[in-house]
Amino acid sequence: MQKVVLALATACVAMHPIRLAAQAEPTPEAAVNAFMKAVGDSNLARMTQLWGTSEGSAATTRKPADFQKRMYVTYAFLKGGTYRISATEPSPAEKDERYMILEFTRGDCNKLVPITAVKTKKEGWIVNSLDLSQVGVPGRSCTGAAPAADTGVTVVTDTIKPDKSK
């Protein structure tokens, strides 16, 4: 059943290619808030507009090749949760990069999740990396109680790097 849902979600995103300039955000915090709102709205297309590298959003660059699957897995891990940005600081090495900590809550789980936003060359700020291994597995308890049925979802830590070969 989960493979069917993944296939349908991927097909839906693939059927609606977004080649227009993505609408990124004017600040790193706004990018994270918009990305998390897209998760809450089950809007995978908007998530692809708000995730990528300094080269541009996945919606614009169509990279990495499996970006649609990555967005679905990210959605699967984050759906049903609430968050707040609890810390933010600029990158010491990159002026157009900002590190943040999300206080992420889902069910009985309250986790601190690192997230990074980058400024693109043309679009504004977007999410670049999010440590899904820190979110907790959907459907599993954080209290040590017997785990719920296995969701079949594998933890993925996702960061993409800009293509420096250009």
Entry pTM: 0.74
Q: How many helices (DSSP H) and strands (DSSP E) are in the chain? A: 5, 7
| Residue, of 160 and 116, whose pLDDT is higher | 116
Q: Is there a domain that residue 41 lies in?
A: yes
CATH number at residue 10: 3.10.450.50
HSE-CB at 14 with a 13 A cutoff on CA atoms is 12
Q: Does residue 147 fall inside a structural domain? A: no
12-23 per-position pLDDT tens digit: 444 444 444 457
pLDDT band at 140 (very low <50, low <70, confident <90, very high): confident
Between the CA of residue 33 and those of 111, 125, 163, what are the distances in Å?
17, 11, 26
8 Å CB contact between 146 and 49? no
* pLDDT at residue 112, rounded to an integer: 95
Number of domains into which the chain is organized? 1
What is the span of the domain harbouring residue 63?
2-141+152-159
